[in-house]
């Protein structure tokens, strides 16, 4: 049965607590009865009692949160997202104290436990000191008698945990007093949401509440690392790059253990995002390697437009560093006269007509091209990637052509290309 989905603004809380602790900050907000505190209070109450998850912003993307200790609550995530049940979830915490309690279940107090208390493995100390709170997820052993719902780990003996740098996210976790299982708040396989509007588009009628904290800053999900393996490994690229990780003690020889494709159907992924196709708009996505010649790209696109079998009626062009606006499909002066700003989803998305002479047709047809420049620096590309894919979906383009970047071009480059390869139906070099 469909539910009424409400969106409550809480952007002010992005400013954070200042010099106050989370507890002091939360006490002040409640004392002042601010609209934002009432929204957080309602969301926290739902997280403690409802089996329908709550959407909330983090610094990476919007998350779909549920009490990680209740099976019925976590099952709600899989139901709402229509997510495969063998895809594990990341547990979000507000403090190291909350994490230590997960590692040492309350029914096994140090005085009665049969085994010594579990500490966070020392391999993670340098990473935690440098990157927490932040877009980093660490893999930890799931203790005997774990308080985590079994659906969180998908039958693995480990779980992923992260402490978000978003003060708003940590405040919600603190107010709920629960660790939150929280994958991205989108329908499964779709581009991850970086605004509350993206969440509403995908999950309207499926969830009760979306906390609107504005745009997410990073734009791609957290980096997932496994320090329990030897050598330590990166399971998913994300907001923190491998070069940064290698600067930390014990991580100098970290290896890449993810694939940009998909795993065998029988494999259980060690981390989210490893197994299935993800981040995909409705349109077919064609990713061009970064060293592809712009002229070759233009010839390929022109051929697609002319080929009736391809069915490329309207197209999207997503540029990064080398492609020119319009890819030379029409002369620059034609674009200058005909360009139309499109503001339905993001700024600077423009459209222009492309006359096409299709094979076997005596007359030409006009097709529409939507063009967007993500920027040349990696952070801008990562920040706008999911938003532009969603925007092009709104205009029902048939094919999206994307200019790739080099995997070695900085901290976020590998994460960007990982997401694009999982979204793409084809990767080409011309």
Q: Is 92 annotated as a binding residue?
A: yes
Nearest to 55 by CA among 158, 185, 152, 219: 185
**Per-residue pLDDT tens listing for the chain (430 residues):** 678 999 999 999 999 999 999 999 999 999 999 999 999 999 999 999 999 999 999 999 999 999 999 999 999 999 999 887 778 999 999 999 999 999 999 755 555 555 677 899 999 999 999 999 999 999 999 999 999 999 999 889 999 999 999 999 999 999 999 999 999 999 988 899 999 999 999 999 999 999 999 999 988 899 999 999 999 999 999 989 888 999 999 999 999 988 765 444 455 566 655 545 566 788 899 999 998 998 999 999 998 888 776 666 889 999 999 999 999 999 888 888 888 888 766 778 899 999 887 666 666 688 899 999 999 999 899 989 999 999 998 888 999 999 999 987 766 788 889 888 888 876 777 7
- The answer on 209 and 68 residing in a single domain is yes
Termini Cα distance of the chain: 49
Does residue 156 belong to any structural domain of this protein? Answer: yes
- The answer on 118 and 223 residing in a single domain is yes
pLDDT of residue 2: 76
pLDDT of residue 408: 74
Q: Is 222 annotated as a binding residue?
A: yes
Q: How far apart are CA 221 and CA 193, in angstroms?
A: 10
The answer to whether 185 and 76 are in contact (CB under 8 A) is: no
Q: Is 379 annotated as a binding residue?
A: no
Q: Is 364 annotated as a binding residue?
A: no
Q: Is 280 annotated as a binding residue?
A: no
- The answer on 177 and 37 residing in a single domain is yes
Domain count, the chain: 2
- The answer on 74 and 16 residing in a single domain is yes
Does residue 273 belong to any structural domain of this protein? Answer: no
Does residue 278 belong to any structural domain of this protein? Answer: no
Q: Is 230 annotated as a binding residue?
A: no
Tell whether the torsion through CA atoms of 298, 303, 309 and 314 is positive or negative: positive
- The answer on 317 and 246 residing in a single domain is no
pLDDT of residue 269: 60
Q: Is 373 annotated as a binding residue?
A: no
Does residue 373 belong to any structural domain of this protein? Answer: yes
Domain boundary among 256, 275, 292: 256
Does residue 201 belong to any structural domain of this protein? Answer: yes
**Residue 155 sits in which domain range?**
6-256
**Dihedral angle computed from the Cα positions of residues 257, 262, 264 and 269, in that order, rounded to the nearest 10 degrees:** 50
Indicate which CATH number applies to the domain containing 351: 3.40.50
Domain boundary among 256, 274, 309: 256
Q: How far apart are CA 338 and CA 352, in angstroms?
A: 6
Helix (H) or strand (E) holding 205: none
Indicate which CATH number applies to the domain containing 70: 3.90.870.10
Q: How far apart are CA 320 and CA 385, in angstroms?
A: 10
What pTM, to 2 d.p., does this model score? 0.86
- The answer on 14 and 77 residing in a single domain is yes
- The answer on 222 and 344 residing in a single domain is no
Q: Is 158 annotated as a binding residue?
A: yes
Does residue 1 belong to any structural domain of this protein? Answer: no
Neighbours of 401 (CB within 10 A): 26
> Checking phi first, is residue 164 left (phi over 0); if not, alpha (psi -120 to 50) or beta?
beta
Q: Is 321 annotated as a binding residue?
A: no
- The answer on 288 and 251 residing in a single domain is no
Q: Is 162 annotated as a binding residue?
A: yes
The answer to whether 171 and 155 are in contact (CB under 8 A) is: no
Nearest to 186 by CA among 178, 177, 195: 195
- The answer on 153 and 10 residing in a single domain is yes
- The answer on 232 and 112 residing in a single domain is yes
Q: Is 300 annotated as a binding residue?
A: no
Q: Is 83 annotated as a binding residue?
A: yes
Does residue 228 belong to any structural domain of this protein? Answer: yes
- The answer on 214 and 70 residing in a single domain is yes
Structure tokens at 394: 């709104």
- The answer on 151 and 248 residing in a single domain is yes
pLDDT of residue 280: 78
Domain boundary among 212, 239, 256: 256
Does residue 138 belong to any structural domain of this protein? Answer: yes
């Amino acid at each position: 049965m469909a539910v009424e989905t409400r969106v409550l603004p809480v952007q002010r809380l992005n400013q954070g607590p200042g010099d106050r602790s989370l507890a002091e900050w939360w006490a002040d907000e409640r004392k002042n009865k601010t609209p934002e505190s009432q929204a957080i209070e309602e969301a926290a109450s739902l997280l403690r009692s409802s089996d329908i998850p709550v959407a909330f912003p983090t610094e990476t993307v919007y998350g779909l949160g549920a009490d990680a200790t209740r099976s019925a609550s976590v099952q709600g995530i899989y139901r709402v997202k229509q997510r495969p049940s063998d895809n594990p979830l990341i547990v979000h915490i507000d403090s190291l104290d909350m994490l230590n309690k997960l590692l040492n279940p309350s029914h096994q107090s140090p005085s009665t436990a049969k085994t010594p208390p579990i500490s966070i493995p020392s391999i993670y100390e340098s990473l935690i000191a440098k990157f927490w709170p932040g877009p980093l997820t660490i893999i930890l052993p799931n203790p005997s008698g774990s308080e985590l719902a079994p659906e969180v780990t998908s039958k693995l003996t480990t779980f992923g945990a992260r402490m978000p740098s978003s003060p708003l996210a940590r405040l919600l976790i603190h107010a709920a007093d629960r660790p939150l299982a929280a994958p991205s708040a989108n329908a499964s396989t779709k581009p991850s949401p970086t605004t509350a509007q993206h969440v509403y588009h995908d999950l309207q009628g499926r969830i009760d509440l979306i906390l609107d904290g504005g745009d997410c800053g990073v734009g791609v999900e957290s980096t997932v690392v496994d320090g329990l393996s030897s050598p330590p490994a990166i399971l998913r690229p994300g907001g923190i790059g491998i070069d940064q990780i290698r600067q930390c003690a014990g991580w100098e020889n970290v290896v890449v253990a993810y694939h940009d494709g998909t795993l065998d159907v029988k494999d259980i992924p060690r981390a989210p995002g490893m197994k299935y196709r993800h981040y995909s708009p409705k349109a077919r996505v064609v990713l061009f390697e970064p060293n592809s010649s712009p002229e070759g790209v233009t010839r390929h696109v022109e051929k697609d437009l002319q080929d009736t079998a391809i069915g490329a009626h309207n197209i999207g062009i997503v540029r990064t560093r080398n492609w020119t606006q319009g890819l030379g499909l029409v002369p620059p002066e034609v674009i200058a006269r005909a360009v139309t700003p499109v503001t339905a989803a993001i700024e600077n998305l423009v459209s222009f007509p492309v006359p096409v002479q299709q094979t076997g047709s005596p007359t030409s047809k006009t097709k529409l091209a939507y063009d967007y420049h993500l920027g040349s620096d990696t952070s801008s590309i990562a920040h706008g990637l999911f938003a532009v894919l969603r925007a092009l979906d709104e205009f029902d383009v048939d094919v999206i052509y994307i200019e790739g970047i080099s995997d070695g071009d900085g901290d976020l480059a590998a994460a960007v290309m990982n997401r694009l390869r999982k979204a793409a139906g084809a990767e080409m070099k011309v």
